[in-house]
Amino acid sequence: MLRSRETPHDLIDLLPPLERKAYDIISSKSREGGITQIELWRILGIDSKEGSKIVLKLMRRGLVVRKEIETNGRKSYVLTLPGHLLNKEDLPTLVNINLIEEIPCFTCSLLSVCVSSEESLWMTCPKMSEYISRIRK
C-alpha cells in the first residue's frame, strides 16, 4: 500500500534487491503469459520456501498476481503483472473492444498499485492524460 506522496514507481524502487530481481523477471515474462513460480525460483537460485515469501510480498504490495493452472493433472502457479491478467475473452461481449484495448491501465504494470492507493493517482498519470487527449480529438 502506498503512503502519502509515494508514487507506484517509488514502491518498485524501494524493493530489496532479491524482490526487485524477482519483480523484473516477472515483468519481463508477463506479456508472454507469465512465468511459473518454479521457473522463477530456478532463475533466482532459491528454494520454494524463500521463493514463496518473495512472491507473497510482491502480491501483498499489488505488484504481481498469481494464477493457478493445471498441467497434466498437476497444479502450478503462473506469475504476471496485474495489468497483463486480462484476456480479450474475459471482457464482456457488449462493449467495443477497440476502445477498451487502448485504455493504458489494462497493460500497465502499476494497475493494482493505482487501484489500492488512497490517492487518485490516475489524475496525474501521463499515460492516462495522453489517452484522454487522444480520444477527445
Q: Under the rule (CB under 6 A), what is the footprint of ligand SF4? A: 104-105, 108, 110-111, 114, 121-122, 125, 127-128
Phi, psi of 91 (to 5 degrees): -85, 150
* 10: Cβ contacts below 8 Å, ≥ 6 apart: 2
Q: Which of 63, 111, 55 is nearest to 86 (CA)?
A: 111
| In the complex, minimum distance from the CB of residue 121 to ligand SF4, in angstroms, rounded to a whole number | 5
Phi, psi of 64 (to 5 degrees): -135, 160
Pick 2 or 78: Cβ nearer ligand SF4 = 2
Pick 46 or 105: Cβ nearer ligand SF4 = 105
Pick 79 or 113: Cβ nearer ligand SF4 = 113
The grid cell for 14 is 524501494
| In the complex, minimum distance from the CB of residue 9 to ligand SF4, in angstroms, rounded to a whole number | 9
